[in-house]
Amino acid sequence: MEDVLTVSAALILFAHLLLSPSAASGGKVSAVIVFGDSTVDPGNNDHILTVAKGDFPPYGRDFDGGVATGRFSNGRLVTDFISEGFGLPSSVPAYLDTSCTIDQLAMGVSFASAGTGLDDLTADISVFNMYLNSFQNVIPVRQQLEYFMEYKERLAVARGASEADAIIAGALYYFSIGNNDIGVNYFLLPQRRAQFSPPEYAAFLVGIAGAAVREVYRLGGRKIQLTGILPVGCVPAMRTVNLHRPGECMEDFNQFALLFNAELRKAASKLNGELSEARVVYSDMYRLVSTIIANPLKYGFENVAQGCCGTGLIEASFLCVLDEPLTCEDTDKYVFFDSVHPTERIYKMEASQMLNTSLAAFL
């Protein structure tokens, strides 16, 4: 009952934030600027040569009348709800979407790319290689930071240096990345396991995350959130490939995720002490999702082991297609939309939790 009340209170707060005058005026956050992987990619991969795309139905079936934008979900992502919670636009556009003007991007932009990771090697490989034996070209973190520098220059030309600097300083910088480093790179491929133990690889990844935060700070960012990763061992695709305990979560994946999250939390605290006038916060996504998976009926969910799309066991990206007769009718009953990515309902719950906790200081 206590967990239900906690989630309900968070949702009530979220609704209040959307309606409050301070939220309507944008509050203390000028824009939401996003770096990461498929959990926050609104469609950048639509514009690059890769098979890791979600720009076709049934993706987006609940997004603005059923538009498949490239988001790997049935609707909006966590960053879309966060943007709306700050009184900014209800969706954060992809930087590589040429239909968006710099004035639109001034209120929010995502550089995220599905399939990428903190480790450059992760951007060069993915689970799709196993199906197609082909190179996947996605956007590594270093390239996302280069796009951010380009964005800053474009913003200065469009708005003038003074206004551009104010937008950059007032923006929230949201990092959501690491899922593929652990779920694909470390456990499914041999190279990094031969080089690093799990604690060493977690430290390696968190070091890259810290360097990215310092670069954002150098370029003017002051409000930064580092977001922990999901219980990657419990996504339907991992349950499917669990040969020792078919259909159950892969606990070694989850233990690694917890290890990474703990190191990321420590890094956020350290960066707070290191970067003058910056506020670096950590937000945990693991606990909410794992709590729902452990007791779904309490939160109104019926299926935690399968995705909505197709059989829900392996379908993601190009394997998730519109004419799949097994795709579910009621997405709200599912934690996952495909075999890897959460549903819009989960993202909305995560956003409301963050706005009530880690992001409350920025409201």
Instruction: Name residues whose C-beta falls within 8 Å of residue 35's C-beta, 6 or more positions apart in sequence.
Output: 110, 111, 112, 141, 144, 145, 148, 173, 174, 175, 176, 177, 212
Q: How many CB atoms lie within 10 A of CB 151?
A: 20
Q: For residue 38, indicate whether it is catalytic.
A: yes
* Residue 157, CA distances (Å) to 108, 109, 151, 153 in order: 17, 17, 10, 6
Please answer whether residues 312 and 342 qualify as being in contact, where contact means their C-beta atoms are separated by less than 8 angstroms: no
For residues 254 and 251, give the distance between their C-alpha atoms in angstroms, rounded to a whole number. Answer: 5
Catalytic entry in 283, 290, 341, 352: 341
Catalytic entry in 126, 338, 339, 352: 338
Q: For residue 244, indicate whether it is catalytic.
A: no
Q: Strand ranges (DSSP E) for 88-212?
A: 108-110, 172-176
Q: Which residue, 283, 293, 281, is CA-closest to 254?
A: 293
Q: How many CB atoms lie within 10 A of CB 339?
A: 26
Question: What is the DSSP code (8-state) at residue 2?
Answer: H
φ and ψ at 352, to 5 degrees? -65, -35
Q: Strand ranges (DSSP E) for the chain?
A: 32-36, 108-110, 172-176, 223-227, 279-283, 303-307, 334-336
- Cis geometry, peptide bond prior to residue 140 (ω within 30 degrees of 0): no
Catalytic entry in 38, 73, 91, 283: 38
Q: For residue 3, indicate whether it is catalytic.
A: no
Pairing, β 32-36 against β 172-176: parallel
Q: How many CB atoms lie within 10 A of CB 346?
A: 24
Q: Which residues are catalytic?
A: 38, 338, 341
